[in-house]
Amino acid sequence: MCWTQVVPVTHLAGRSARIDVTLEGLTFTRSVAGAARRGVEPVQEVLWDDLVGAELVHTRKGRPVFRVLVVGARAGLPLREDPYALKLPRAADERAAELVEQVAREVAVRRRWREHAEDDEAGA
């Protein structure tokens, strides 16, 4: 049997941190020192309803950085302080781009669900 669909990205891993995709959202797992530097817990969960999207940016040296956009989070923080950013190895560039697309699709679907539910409540 031939499988033609793309397998979704379920995690990204950097040197001292990792992002896992779960049914509830994204889970960031960091070293104790990395979490303390960012002012968050070592295991941090971001729910799908709190996500605005994700983006892939690159450092000056060309390393990919997966950054999650979260409702109410301060924008423009330096990478070392951003609790929703993960610097990745260059080889993870393609997987990170795929995860950006997956997050965008999931956020859009959940936004449509919420809008539809609000329309149903307003019409009832």
Domain ranges for the chain, please list them: 11-123
The conformational region for residue 3 under phi > 0 = left, psi -120 to 50 = alpha, else beta, is beta
- Supply the pLDDT for residue 13: 94
pLDDT at position 3 = 55
Phi, psi of 20 (to 5 degrees): -115, 140
Query: How confident is the model at residue 15, as a pLDDT?
Result: 87
pLDDT tier at 124, thresholds 50, 70, 90: low
pLDDT for the residue numbered 30: 96
Going by pLDDT thresholds of 50, 70 and 90, the confidence category of residue 6 is low
**pLDDT tens-place string over residues 22-61:** 999 999 999 999 999 999 999 999 999 999 999 999 999 9
Going by C-alpha positions, the residue among 35, 55, 57 that lies closest to residue 45 is 35
The predicted-structure confidence for 71-123, as pLDDT tens digits, reads as follows 999 888 888 899 999 999 999 999 999 999 999 999 999 999 988 888 877 77
pTM: 0.86
Question: Three-class SS string for 2-69?
Answer: CCCCCCCCCEEECCCEEEEECCCEEEEEECHHHHHHHCCCCEEEEEHHHEEEEEEEECCCCCEEEEEE
Across the range 5-31, mean pLDDT stands at 90
**Alpha-carbon separation of residue 15 from 9, 87, 92 (angstroms):** 18, 8, 12
Cβ atoms within 10 Å of 84's Cβ, excluding its own: 21
CATH number for the domain whose boundaries are 11-123: 2.30.29
Sheet architecture: strand order including 64-70 = 51-58, 64-70, 85-87
